[in-house]
Amino acid sequence: MEKSRIGIISLLSTISGLLIIESGIHFGLLQGQVWNIIAAGFEAGTVGGLADWFAVSALFREIPIPIIRKHTNIIVKNRKQLTEGIVNLVETKWLSPDIIIEKLSDINLIDKIIQFLKNSNNQTQVLNLSRNILERFAENLDKPELAEILQRLLKDQLEGIDIATPLGKWLEEAIKKGEHNQIWEVFLNSIKKTINEESTKKFILENVEKRIKEYKEEGLQKKALVTILELVRSVDADSITEKIIKLVNEFVEDAKNNPRNEYREKLDNSILEFVKDLQNEKSDNYKKVNDLLKKIVNNTEADSILLNILNRFKATIIGQLESNDTPMMSLLQKNFNNLISEIESNETTQNKINDWMRSTISNLVNEHHHEIGNMVRTSLEKLDNVGLVSQIEEKVGNDLQYIRLNGAVVGGLAGIIIAVIRYIVVG
């Protein structure tokens, strides 16, 4: 039997029983004191059932009975008091600060978080959230205002900083260890490539021919000398060009294969003298390098340079955030998993995090506990009267049907007991 029909069935049963028994007694079909006692039971059960039916119905809706109707529809008429009662019950009893904080002390918060984050689906959601945050950050990287802020920060941070001394020490150490040899190799390879290009040969040839022509124009004797040498092929622009290119190639090969090359060593020594001078606060080179840094930062073009750098940085970041398979996202996920593993294996760290979270949550609960009541109050206020009554009936209405059943049963038993007592006393 459905709970929602128990009350009405019990009431109909007592009314039907009363009509049947009373009719039987009235028409002489049922005789004897026992039937009178049973009739009294059904009569009392009917009264009890009707009374409880009225009481339950009066909670949820208005009963159109003169005079007493103002005492019906109790939930709607006392809605404000009911709402505040529920809010007070939630705030002071069910979810009071002490109860919440006590419950928090029994929960290993960080362990719950770790187990949540170890789930692959949850990790994906966290990474997606991180990517969204980084994308929002990257969107504003190319703003001129950011470039201006960075320039100001650079100015502030570089004010009074000595860049010459550490630069000099680093260069000196690099040269002594031979770490600059790679630069030499790149430089010499570049020279070799350039000197053997057709455009370079053409350039040298044109300049040799120009110089020979200029030499001739310096005087009759020089012109005659050059003419004679040209006739005996001692002066030939093409051969001079080839010799120049050959000499450069020989120099490059020797310098590449021989770190002790005379000219290479001379240049290294000159650089060493320069970098040592950078470490002397009284030297001109020391002042020039530090002044150059200031000029670069204060340059009117610094903003545009920084903006170009930021534009490229933005494009790089956005490209790395396109999917979870990029190096940046893979690194982020790797570090994320490493962090989880480190926390999970370190009990001291877990205790510190738990203490911090409990303390933070406790402070928030004490400071904003009234918001729990406001949330309950707001939720109830959103419901109209019909919605409120429907929700309450949905939750407790079926169980209230037993009140009607109990009224009929208890009333019937009471009626039988009273009838029995009357029969014993009166006879």
Q: Is a pLDDT exceeding 80 seen at residue 353?
A: yes
Q: Is a pLDDT exceeding 80 seen at residue 156?
A: no
- Report the pLDDT averaged over residues 132-154: 77
Q: Is 67 left (phi over 0), alpha (psi -120 to 50) or beta?
A: left
Tokens representing 39 are: 């009739």
- Report the pLDDT averaged over residues 253-263: 79
- Is-contact 75 388, C-beta < 8 A? yes
Least confident of 96-105, 193-202, 207-216, 325-334: 207-216
Q: Where are the domains of the chain?
A: 3-72+396-426, 164-278
- Is-contact 14 49, C-beta < 8 A? yes
For the chain, give the percent of residues with pLDDT over 90: 0
- Using alpha carbons, select from 44, 77, 85 the residue that is nearest to residue 59: 77
Q: Give the pLDDT of residue 107.
A: 83
Provide the pLDDT confidence category of residue 34 given band limits of 50, 70 and 90: confident
Between 295 and 118, residue with greater pLDDT: 118
The pLDDT tens digits of the residues spanning 109-125 come to 888 888 888 888 888 88
Q: Which residue has the tokens 């150059």?
A: 292
Mean pLDDT of the chain: 80
Look at the alpha carbons of 146, 152, 155, 159 in this order and tell me if their dihedral is positive or negative: negative
- Distance from C-alpha of 118 to C-alpha of 336, rounded to nearest angstrom: 10
- Using alpha carbons, select from 187, 300, 191 the residue that is nearest to residue 245: 191
Amino acid 46 reads: T
Least confident of 69-78, 174-183, 274-283: 174-183
- Distance from C-alpha of 166 to C-alpha of 297, rounded to nearest angstrom: 19
The pLDDT tens digits of the residues spanning 307-339 come to 777 788 888 888 888 887 888 888 888 888 888
- Report the pLDDT averaged over residues 295-313: 70
- Which residues are CB-contacts of 259 (< 8 A; sequence separation ≥ 6)? 178, 181, 184, 265
Q: Give the pLDDT of residue 427.
A: 59
The pLDDT tens digits of the residues spanning 275-291 come to 788 788 778 877 777 77
Q: Is 91 left (phi over 0), alpha (psi -120 to 50) or beta?
A: alpha
Our CA dihedral for 331, 336, 340, 346, rounded to 10 degrees, sits at 70
Q: Is a pLDDT exceeding 80 seen at residue 5?
A: no
Phi, psi of 22 (to 5 degrees): -65, -40
- Is-contact 381 83, C-beta < 8 A? yes
Neighbouring C-beta atoms of residue 267, cutoff 10 Å: 13
- Report the pLDDT averaged over residues 46-72: 80
Q: Is a pLDDT exceeding 60 seen at residue 300?
A: no
Helix H or strand E encompassing 388: helix 385-392
Amino acid 350 reads: Q
Cα 80 vs. chain centroid, distance in angstroms?
40
Q: Give the pLDDT of residue 1.
A: 42
